[in-house]
Structure 1
Amino acid sequence: MISLTLSQRVQFGYTAQIRYSKMATITKTDSGKWKAIIRRSGWPKVSKTFRIKRDAEDWARTTEDEIIRGIYIPRNHSEKLTIAQALLRYSEEVTPTKKPSTQKREYGRAEQLRSQLGRYSLAALNTEIIAKYRDKRIDEGKSASTVRLELALLSHLYSIAIKEWGLGLVSNPVMNVRKPSPGAGRDRRLVDDEEERLLRACNQHSNPFLGWIVRVALYTAMRQGEILSLEKSRVNIKRGVLTIHNTKNNDSRTIPLSDKAKAVFLEVLQHPIRPLDTNLLFYGEPGKDGKRRPYTLNRVWSSALERAEINDLRFHDLRHEATSRFVEAGLTDQEVASITGHKSMQMLKRYTHLRSEDLVCKIAKV
């Protein structure tokens, strides 16, 4: 073991201090700017260019101190990488791992973020800028849900950049921004003769798929994506159930079929014009690659609403209607949740707005 005298220790400490102070080299570039370069054993070379020499010296001094104390985080990449570039990388590496329906919506949100925040670097974007973006979107008439989802995408982008890309970001600025209140959920129900008019308008379409899809939604409370991705093998008429795997929550669930629902699926399965190149119940025309994808619903749904003269009705409202009918039929919350796939009773309550007249009939018997 080598022991050092006091003078040697002082000398060693003094030498170390001199070495620390000489880690940085500051030179003038051909363009007239000042470049600070810091080299230290065990650390990658760190450099940054400044317009003024004093800024280079200040940065070098601060960075050297952080290196010595072991708290330095390289920030060069996060300072150079713009939000637009980061979103592009995210769309290439992260978005493809999500469901196709989620990918499509996410590309739209990413484009919106890119158009308004894309020029900022990851390091430059702060809570003030993000809050202004939030307020601007609300002022443009966008719903709280839309803005929340856009901020959620931006927040996940930062999480990936910090955890996986190693860009040297200290924190996620989106976490400190207040999110718009989600507000009350929709309580749109079919009233008067709207169901009859809607089904009649759907039956007028040349393709029977539209009428079948709407009836399936009303009788099963399935989501649009779950219906459109449903395959023949998932429907068991004999047992009176269907099983789906491609759910919003990535969980499988088995749905019992009412007599009305079984009648619809029998029509679908017995449809004489059915190609052999797909297992989808509701399929579209082959794409350029020759592959059939799920039936496209948006345009024909809108046209049906116009023919039926029905306003402010979304396809997802049919799930709301079906779920409410299950409750009105006397099913317990647990039974309804097992059919609809709701994860929490709180979420289920948003879909179970019982009609006042039904409650009046029930309370009259108390």
Structure 2
Amino acid sequence: MATITKTPSNTWKAIVRKRGWPTTIKTFRTKRDAQDWARRTEDEMVRGVYIDRAESDRLLLKQALDRYLREVSATKKPSTHSAERHKAKALKAELGNYSLAAITPDLVAEYRDKRLEAGKSASTVRLELSLLSHLFTIAIKEWRVGLVYNPVANIRKPAPPQGRNRRLTAEEERKLLQACDAHSNPMLGWIVRIALYTGMRAGEIKSLTRSQVNLDKRLVYLTETKNGSARTVPLTREAVAVFRAALDNPLQPDDTDLIFFGEPGRDGIRRPYEFRPAWHRILKETGIRGFRFHDLRHEAVSRLVEAGLGDQEVSAISGHKSMQMLKRYTHLRAEDLVEKLDRVMR
């Protein structure tokens, strides 16, 4: 049974009491709104579908994001946690003062369009929407805040961009490696060559420890990768030579097992060498445009394909989790087929 009373502040309080359900209270500006809400709530209780939405009405998105970063992101890899903190800033700036209950598909679609109009890439916007969607999933399934649906689920996501196909020319490779070798820190050149010779990701290289490298067997054991699956990377003779030089580094400190180490932080702990500032300076100095460090991985995988390795072999080395991810390299297979056709038809 619902009770509607006027409060001293001239608002209207609706109280719904029904056996088997918790007492539910909500305040409204008009008596009509209070009556409508009470009638709707009683009806949902009778049908057994009532959900207490009070928490989702009170919980702002910026508060929910803080909780998500604290409880969910913190359990992920440090790099993922850091990336999600960055994405959360954009969501807070646009939608942070909305309650979870007030965020609708229309509002999310408007956010998507604004970000794209601001020049953000489709990949960036897709990742931000993915974070928002997972937050709502957690809020519904685990936090039980009284939401009945995920407003991100039914909106169009920006089309994923085509994979980059930037190759390194022979002249660019010569200039790049020469400039890296001339840098004051030899670790820069070692890192660049390892990426080019093995196809390993920047994070995988930076976090390498001495115990992960076996030069006798010519193998590197990766335990923490982007997709979460450990893998073993075989080394070419060129890669072995680079690793041998890195492992014989006379400046190797005793307080870390990292191969590519930085200076101790304020807490006295050494972290991986942050090579990207020097990398960007070298690209600018050499005039190599439109090239990213991750393109070294693409170059390495392309060379594996051109060398005739099969998809399974390439995937085992590169760590691509599905054959779909390797489809961007099929044009290289086609070029090989053209040469084979010429030989066959002679």
Same fold (TM > 0.5): yes
- Given residue 243 of structure 2, which amino acid in structure 1 is its aligned partner? F
Correspondence for 1:118 among 80, 96, 119: 96
Show the counterpart of 2:205.
227
Correspondence for 2:299 among 303, 306, 321: 321
Distance 1:358 1:304, change over 3 A: farther
Show the counterpart of 2:40.
62
Correspondence for 1:333 among 294, 306, 311: 311
Note if 1:92 corresponds to 2:70.
Answer: yes
SS in 1 for 2:162: coil
Q: Which structure 2 segments of 5+ residues have no match?
A: none
TM-score (norm: length of structure 1)? 0.91
Deviation for aligned residue 1:39: 2.2
Aligned pairs for 1:1-366 within 5 A: 23-351=1-329, 353-354=331-332, 361-366=339-344
SS in 2 for 1:141: coil
Q: 1:65 & 1:174 partners in 2: Cα distance?
A: 28
SS in 2 for 1:35: strand
- Given residue 59 of structure 1, which amino acid in structure 2 is its aligned partner? W
SS in 2 for 1:365: helix
* Runs of 4+ in structure 1 over 3 Å off: 355-364
Which sits farther off after the overlay, 173-182 or 274-283?
Answer: 274-283
Deviation for aligned residue 1:117: 0.8
Using the aligned pairs only, state the percent identity: 61
Deviation for aligned residue 1:288: 1.7
Distance 1:31 1:90, change over 3 A: same
Q: 1:93 & 1:130 partners in 2: Cα distance?
A: 23
Deviation for aligned residue 1:124: 0.8
Q: Does structure 2 retain, via aligned residues, the 8 Å contact 1:324–1:353?
A: no
Deviation for aligned residue 1:204: 2.1
Which sits farther off after the overlay, 198-207 or 169-178?
Answer: 198-207
Deviation for aligned residue 1:343: 1.2
Q: 1:351 & 1:110 partners in 2: Cα distance?
A: 34
Deviation for aligned residue 1:90: 0.6
Show the counterpart of 1:20.
none
Q: 1:354 & 1:154 partners in 2: Cα distance?
A: 38
Deviation for aligned residue 1:351: 4.7
TM-score (norm: length of structure 2)? 0.96
- Given residue 103 of structure 1, which amino acid in structure 2 is its aligned partner? H
CA RMSD of aligned residues (A): 1.5
SS in 2 for 1:174: coil
Q: 1:265 & 1:353 partners in 2: Cα distance?
A: 32
Q: Does structure 2 retain, via aligned residues, the 8 Å contact 1:323–1:352?
A: no
- Given residue 137 of structure 1, which amino acid in structure 2 is its aligned partner? R
Q: Which structure 1 segments of 5+ residues have no match?
A: 1-22
Deviation for aligned residue 1:104: 1.2
SS in 2 for 1:206: coil
Residues 329-353 of structure 1: CA deviation (Å, up to 9, x unaligned): 1111110000001111110122565
Q: 2:257 & 2:340 partners in 1: Cα distance?
A: 45
Q: Does structure 2 retain, via aligned residues, the 8 Å contact 1:87–1:110?
A: yes
Deviation for aligned residue 1:356: 8.8
Q: Does structure 2 retain, via aligned residues, the 8 Å contact 1:203–1:211?
A: yes
Structure number with greater Rg is 1
Distance 1:287 1:351, change over 3 A: farther
Q: 2:50 & 2:186 partners in 1: Cα distance?
A: 65
Q: Does structure 2 retain, via aligned residues, the 8 Å contact 1:229–1:294?
A: yes
- Given residue 4 of structure 2, which amino acid in structure 1 is its aligned partner? I
Q: Does structure 2 retain, via aligned residues, the 8 Å contact 1:36–1:49?
A: yes
Residues 91-123 of structure 1: CA deviation (Å, up to 9, x unaligned): 111110111111111111000010011111111
Q: 1:24 & 1:297 partners in 2: Cα distance?
A: 66
Q: Does structure 2 retain, via aligned residues, the 8 Å contact 1:286–1:292?
A: yes
Residues 120-179 of structure 1: CA deviation (Å, up to 9, x unaligned): 111111111111111111111111111100000000000000000001111001000100
Q: Does structure 2 retain, via aligned residues, the 8 Å contact 1:127–1:173?
A: yes
Q: Does structure 1 retain, via aligned residues, the 8 Å contact 2:258–2:272?
A: yes
